[in-house]
Amino acid sequence: MDNQYSGLWQHYVQTANHKIPEAGLMGQTAWRSPSNIAIVKYWGKHGNQLPNNPSLSFTLQNAHTDTSISYTWSPTGPEVHFRFEGSENKAFAEKIEKLLMQFLPAFPFLGQLKMHIESRNSFPHSSGIASSASSMSALVMCLIDIEQQLGAMLTDDERLRKASYFSRLASGSAARSVFPIAALWGHTPFHSGSHDEYAVVADDIHPVFRNYRDTILIISAGTKAVSSRAGHALMEGNPFAEVRYHQASKNTGELLHALHSGDLEAFVRITEAEALQLHALMMTSEPSFILMQPNTLEAIARIRNFRNDTGIPLSFTLDAGPNVHLLYPDEHHPAVNDFVQQQLKSLCQDGRLIEDRVGQGPQKMI
Ligand code: PMV
């Protein structure tokens, strides 16, 4: 297994805190971590969760996971008891236990802990909003906090890098959730310090994007037709894969420039091109998937008409599903809200919407 891990894995194993917790030890931690919405999409990976192209996302504020861990000393750890939204969840507990076993060489103290983990999402269960980025980053923030309680000494930057690295191993896009405003994951010549193994903060963001809005149209709350694991794997035989990776790299450079200069026209163009390319890739995979629904296309047509008619730089993006994220500057919220109520809400399942905006990243809750 280890040969799939990079130099950084070796670094974290070698610098792990090997002090064994003492009998009687107990403590707790709690973190709130947000979801993120990719503008340049990560689709296609290799090795152990390494991206085939750089991706760039906005960190969200309202769509988040709250995770708390209370722990006690146990010589036969890691032992995990997991409750999701108030109920025992054995399947999730097993997944987390497996992940912690994988992390054990870098977090040896886990071998001596019994943990009661509670987790809850702010967005409704089965709203079609993926929770792996928020839930996995919240869990990792808790682990790194426990490590600190047990004596690890990391600077803030080291802590965030480590959180991003281990979040990535748990769920690729989670690597980007640990930073405020916007995060970049994957090496690009357009940003020094960018890396495939962890995300970095995309700094120097123009004020217009710092409180950008994301109104999510829940076109369908059903579960995904294709898991992201299967979706990434389909890129291996996709005839457009190389063109896509090239496009994503180019879009990353142009998006960084637009985010820095406040170029809304370029932002709209790149954002929509990325969303449609992601879906084009799924449509051209073998087997192929059409994840948009008729109301997704109707919403897109209405958004583009609204933009042409009003000049308001409202754009859309999509995840690997039918729901539509409306992205726009905060100052246009009243006009966009009227438009949503009059023309888009009726396209949503049971009229469901989630109001979100760019946020500040994970928060310690206790
Ligand atoms: O993190 P994963 O493996 O669930 O992949 C996420 C893929 C997209 O959400 C479609 C794009 C992205 O970059 O977040």
Domains of the chain and CATH, by start: 8-204 (3.30.230.10), 207-357 (3.30.70.890)
Task: State the average pLDDT over residues 206-217.
Answer: 98
Question: Residues 6, 103: contact at Cβ < 8 Å?
Answer: no
More confident residue, 76 or 140: 140
Tell me, in angstroms, the distance from the centre of ligand 1 to residue 171's CA. Answer: 8
Task: State the average pLDDT over residues 52-79.
Answer: 96
Q: Which of 121, 158, 126, 157 is nearest to 139 (CA)?
A: 121
Tell me, in angstroms, the distance from the centre of ligand 1 to residue 155's CA. Answer: 29
Nearest ligand 1 atom to alpha carbon 173: 1
Tell me, in angstroms, the distance from the centre of ligand 1 to residue 132's CA. Answer: 9
Atom 9, ligand 1: residue with shortest CA distance: 319
**pLDDT band of 201, cuts 50, 70, 90:** very high
pLDDT for residue 3: 45
Q: Which of 35, 40, 42 to mutate to test the pocket of ligand 1 (most atoms within 8 A of CB)?
A: 42
Q: Quick: pLDDT tens for 74-101.
A: 998 899 999 999 999 888 999 999 999 9
Is the pLDDT score of 5 beyond 80? no
Tell me, in angstroms, the distance from the centre of ligand 1 to residue 172's CA. Answer: 7
Answering whether pTM is above 0.95, one says yes
289 lines ligand 1 (CB under 6 A): no
Is the pLDDT score of 8 beyond 80? yes
How many helices, marked H, and strands, marked E, lie in the chain? Answer: 10, 14
**pLDDT band of 19, cuts 50, 70, 90:** confident
pLDDT for residue 224: 76
> H or E element: which one contains 103?
helix 90-103
228 lines ligand 1 (CB under 6 A): yes
**Cα gap 251→245, rounded to integer Å:** 10
Tell me, in angstroms, the distance from the centre of ligand 1 to residue 347's CA. Answer: 24
More confident residue, 21 or 19: 21
**Cα gap 320→212, rounded to integer Å:** 22
pLDDT for residue 1: 40
More confident residue, 123 or 298: 298
User: What is the rounded average pLDDT for all residues in the chain?
Assistant: 95
Is the pLDDT score of 33 beyond 80? yes
Is the pLDDT score of 306 beyond 70? yes
Q: Which of 127, 213, 140 is nearest to 176 (CA)?
A: 140
Q: In degrees rounded to 5, what are phi and psi of residue 107?
A: -130, 70
